Amino acid sequence: MLKKKGYPIKNKRKSLRGEDLYDGLAEIDGPLHPKEQLQLSDEALKEEITKVLTAANPHAPDNIVRFNFKENQYKKIPRVDQMAVHFQIDGNLINIESDEAKIQLGVIDSVEIADENSEDAEGQQEKEHKAPSAPRPTEKSAKKLVNQFNFCEHATQTYNNALKDHENQTEPPARGNFSGNITQWSVYDFYRKEASKKGATSKKKPKPKRTSKPKSFNKRQAGDLSSDGIMSFIKPIKTIERMINQNTFDDVLQDFAFYEDASDEFRDSLGTLLPLWKFTFEKSKKMVVTALSWSPRYNDLFAVGLGSHEFLKQVNGMICFYSLKNPGYPEYIFHTESGVLCLDVHPEYPCLTCVGFYDGSVGVFKLNQEKVGPLYLSTAYANKHTDPVWQVRWLCNSEQPNLTFFSIGSDGRVSCWSILKEDISCYDVLLLRTPKESGDAPKSFQISTYESGTALDFHRKETQIFLIGTEEGMVHKCSRTYGSQYLSSLKAHNMAVYGLAWNYFHDDIFITCSADWTVKIWHQDKKSPVFTFDLGAPVGDVAWSPYSSTVFAAVTTDGNVRVYDLNINKYEPLCLQMVTQKKRTKLTHVAFNPVHPVIICGDDRLAKMDIAFLLASLPLDIYS
């Protein structure tokens, strides 16, 4: 059997052995030094050492970097909060002299008085039960009156407002890459330029001598602004205006780009026209749309000529350039002294536009020019027309050293105009003579008159050949090299010819329209028309489609626009659309967009231009 091992007495604590722990410490006098303490001299001990205590959070980061959206780069935060909170509790002490302390003391006193009264009542009841026969008189304690203004018997509790979290996140600004080269001489030139500007502005004008009567102070008007300051605002204002119009006509733009009529699959040889924009200008309400022409380079820009066809109601003319990006207001406006009857945009230089006027003059206008009026204008000294000019056409020929255009007027002249450096020159290419011979009169008494030209168009490939339409219904085929006679003539219509045009794809085919309600398609080698269409109203204008050889459009005075496709139907129009429903409103001109399947037409009321999107059942390859 193992014995239980015991612990020696020496391992017990001194307190258990009855010894005092501090008996040996009382005998030690002086400070205790460790054995390995460094021995210093008196001078070293007297030397003062400065110690700086800093409160620094060891867990605080020292390299916080945040992105600065203003400077578009990461920035290091110089100061970091070093405070570390280990414990926090709200205090419950208030100043005894404050109003809140007085209210609290009043409440405590009222509670103590109520407790004393209840204790006194209980003690009295006990005494009555013990000795009811010998009652002792008790001293009534003085009741303390409570201040009614600082005392409240009813306890209330307010509701805590519900807390809600709301998060918000901002999008960073758009970024863009910019690169450039800098050299020492470019920096030098820039500083010299800025110094010259500051020197020019710092120069003060000499003050005029003050007279006896002080001059009245005139406030600066809006027209006194410098032209450079005004021009700097034009581009951003145009951009904002286009943005507003794009948001306003967003549904129309979506139809223009992506609309497809699902009912076309169920329509045999029928199409539709979807009306899009209406272009109006407040200052041209009493004018007639006399000419339309798309820009050959900018597919969204077209020119509109405004004037009047009535001799007794002539007004000043106007030329407006509209863009599909801004239907609300014209991009360019030119005012003319005479009514505009025709215009044509140059196919190679779209900034130049030739214009024919009612007074017989012709002019050339240039977009973005500093001059307010026309760049060139014919006068009586330049042998201008004596009657209204009904058609003008640019001639794109590399053989000509200068820019040239042709014009035809009611005076029976076909003139060629050449643009010189500072003026325009003119010569007559052809005179539209109509000799009338009397049967009994001798040859010397023959009377020669002139036909009134109304339409003009050059051949698409052979620019030497051109067609002429007259008020007598005649169509003449002419040549620039043989101006003394016609190559061929035919009686096309019974009334005035309002429009004619060569086909874009077939060199021998051209089309004519007239006031006798008919549209006819001709072959240049035949005297009879290939097709004749009776539209039931005077035809104002006709135009071939630039992307299909069998499609053409015509407008009539009853407000209808008709689109034909000879490949689908040779007798009925593919599309028939009532553009204007007002009475006595006539459609005057029509034009196809050179790229998009869009047509534009103008009327003689309120100078309104309607754009319709062509959604006919045409072959899809013509749009590609």
The reported pLDDT for the residue numbered 623 is 34
The answer to the question of residue 423 being in a domain is yes
CA proximity to 605, closest of 568, 572, 579, 577: 579
Predicted local confidence at residue 450, as pLDDT: 82
How far is the C-alpha of 313 from the C-alpha of 228, rounded, in Å? Answer: 41
Question: Is 484 a member of any domain?
Answer: yes
CA atoms within 13 A on the CB side of 107: 10
pLDDT range class, residue 541, cuts 50, 70, 90 = very high
- Ramachandran angles phi, psi of 66, nearest 5°: -130, 155
Residue 277 lies in a domain: yes
Residue 190 phi/psi, 5-degree rounding, is -65, -45
Q: What is the pLDDT of residue 9?
A: 43
Three-state DSSP class for 370? coil
Torsion of CA 13, 19, 22, 27, to 10 degrees: -130
Q: Is the pLDDT of residue 20 over 60?
A: no
Q: What is the pLDDT of residues 424-461, one digit of tens each?
A: 888 888 888 875 544 445 555 455 578 889 999 999 88
Residue 552 confidence (pLDDT):
93
Comparison of pLDDT for 229 and 161, the residue scoring more: 161
Taking 50 as the threshold, does the pLDDT of residue 179 lie above it? yes
Strands (E), 212-313: 272-279, 288-294, 301-307
Angle at 31 between CA 29 and CA 32, to 5 degrees: 105
Domain encompassing residue 361: 250-437+445-622
**H-only helix segments in 249-326:** 250-258
User: Two tokens at 147?
Assistant: 């201040």
pLDDT at 181: 84
Cβ-based burial of 291 (10 A; exposed 0-12, middle 13-18, buried ≥19): buried
Identify whether 377 is part of a domain.
yes
What Cα–Cα distance (Å) separates residue 555 from each residue in 321, 455, 469, 535, 543?
A: 22, 16, 18, 9, 9
Q: Is the pLDDT of residue 503 over 90?
A: yes
Of the candidates 474, 529, 528, the residue with the CA atom closest to the CA atom of residue 520: 529
Using the predicted structure, report yes or no on whether residue 126 has a pLDDT greater than 80: no
pLDDT in tens, 225-256: 555 667 777 788 888 888 888 888 777 877 77
Token readout for 407 is 């014009």
User: Residue 227's pLDDT is what?
Assistant: 58
Instruction: Check pLDDT > 70 for residue 141.
Output: no
Q: What is the mean pLDDT of residues 510-523?
A: 93
Over 70: is that where the pLDDT of 389 sits? yes
The verdict on residue 578 lying in a domain is yes
What local confidence, expressed as pLDDT, does residue 222 receive? 42
C-alpha closest to that of 150 among 113, 103, 108, 97: 103
Instruction: Find the length of the chain.
Output: 624
**3-state SS class at 82:** coil
CATH of the domain at 285: 2.130.10.10
104: pLDDT confidence band, cut at 50, 70 and 90? Answer: confident
State what percent of residues in the chain have pLDDT above 70.
77
Q: Is residue 115 part of a domain?
A: no
pLDDT at residue number 544: 93
Alpha-carbon distance 545 to 567, whole Å?
13
Tokens of 457: 């168009």
Higher-pLDDT residue of 42, 144: 42
In this prediction, residue 160 carries a pLDDT of 83
The Cα 489–Cα 491 span in angstroms is 7
Distance CA 386, CA 380 (A): 9
Taking residues 153-180, what's their average pLDDT?
82
Residue 29, pLDDT score: 67
Q: What is the mean pLDDT of the chain?
A: 79
* Inside any domain, residue 74: no
* Domain contains 491: yes
Whether residue 497 has pLDDT greater than 90: yes
pLDDT at residue number 24:
52
Which one, of 302, 301, 285, lies nearest residue 293 by Cα?
302
Domain count, the chain: 1
Task: Check whether 615 has a pLDDT greater than 80.
Answer: no
Of 264, 259, 257, 263, the closest CA to residue 618 belongs to 264
618 pLDDT more than 50: no
**Residue 621 per-residue DSSP state:** G
Task: Tell whether the model's pLDDT for residue 165 goes beyond 80.
Answer: yes
Give the pLDDT band (50/70/90) at residue 378. Answer: confident
Question: For residue 477, what pLDDT is reported?
Answer: 92
Beta bridge partners, 396, equal: none
> What does the alpha-carbon distance between residue 381 and residue 386 come to, in Å, rounded to a whole number?
12
Burial 192-204 (b: 16+ CB within 10 A, else e): eeeeeeeeeeeee
User: So what's the pLDDT on residue 457?
Assistant: 92
Coil, helix or strand at residue 319: strand
C-alpha span between 17 and 414 (Å, rounded): 145
Tell me the C-alpha distance between 527 and 521, whole Å: 11
